[in-house]
Amino acid sequence: MSSLQKQSLDLTAHHSIYPAIDPTRELAGSATDKVLFITGASRGIGQATAVAFAAAGVKAIYATARSEKGLEETRSRVAEVNTDTEFMASSIDVTDARQVELAVNDCVSKFGGIDVVDANAGFLGPWVKIAESDPDSWWMNFEVNVKGAYHTARYTLSHLVKSASYHKAKGASGGHLIMVSSVGAQLLVDGASDYQTSKHAVNRLVEFVQNDHGDEGIKCFAMHPGGVATEIGKAMPDYMHEYLNDDPELAAGFAVWLSSGRADWAKGRYLSANWDVGELNAMKEEILGDDLLVNRLRVRW
């Protein structure tokens, strides 16, 4: 069994969209009346996620990324699937707290609140051993993947708490925060110390968000998006490219599913978009009972 398989539940693995997480089928209308705030939305998984939420009926999307051109492409793709979805875009750097704060405030000013947040912005530099690494490139993984996710959580959480309360009063579910992680968080691959430790930190950050704000209605998840041939994915060494066989729409549909209320029981945990959600739900009692899918030190006594 490979190290990758050891870090996954024994569930049916999906590599493309399927009915249970399809925003035009099982999840149709699940995002109605909600506002999505998303980072890294100019291409790849982020762009596909914005489109998926539009297909699921989301009221409005506030999309951020560094590329203005890419954000305009996302705007066009969203309009193709749902002309009723309002769309605003802002070119920001998630490593800058003030830029994130202003974008969040602008979103709330334009759309009245935030119901779902997808912290998708990410970075991956060259894979080299620590003694040969460039300090600035090494640390940039933490600047974008961890600090960027923290900034996104820091300035959206108060609005997500309001969303959770509002939707709970209506008998629905709100206040969802998704942080894009990676199966790499659990692996030890030569030369990947920067990226993989940063994603491990993201998983722990998710647990802390849930610990600190779960009693306020927040549902936070660390999501492995699968192996997608994005620019980040293709930046990995060539021998890793055999794992890049998942469609970006898989992660996008999984994100819609996470924010639909169907996965609220798994809040605070690491989940993979590859896992079949029906089989995952069937494991609920085991996962909760044994406190699985969280970062813990294994000891014997």
Catalytic positions, written as ranges: 195, 199
Tokens standing for residue 268: 């605070």
Query: What is the amino acid identity at position 167?
Result: H
Contact 279, 12 (CB under 8 A): yes
Distance CA 286, CA 149 (A): 29
Those residues with Cβ within 8 angstroms of residue 139's Cβ, 6 or more apart along the chain or in another chain: 194
Instruction: Write down the H helix ranges in the chain.
Output: 3-6, 44-55, 68-81, 97-111, 135-142, 148-169, 193-213, 231-234, 248-258, 277-282, 284-289
Distance CA 201, CA 250 (A): 24
Query: What is the amino acid identity at position 200?
Result: H
Measured between alpha carbons, how far is residue 40 from residues 11, 51, 64, 94 in Å? 29, 13, 6, 9
Measured between alpha carbons, how far is residue 204 from residues 111, 116, 121, 156 in Å? 31, 20, 17, 18
For 239-296, the three-class secondary structure string (H helix, E strand, C coil) is HHHHHCCCCHHHHHHHHHHHCCCCCHHHCCCEEECCECHHHHHHCHHHHHHCCCCCCC
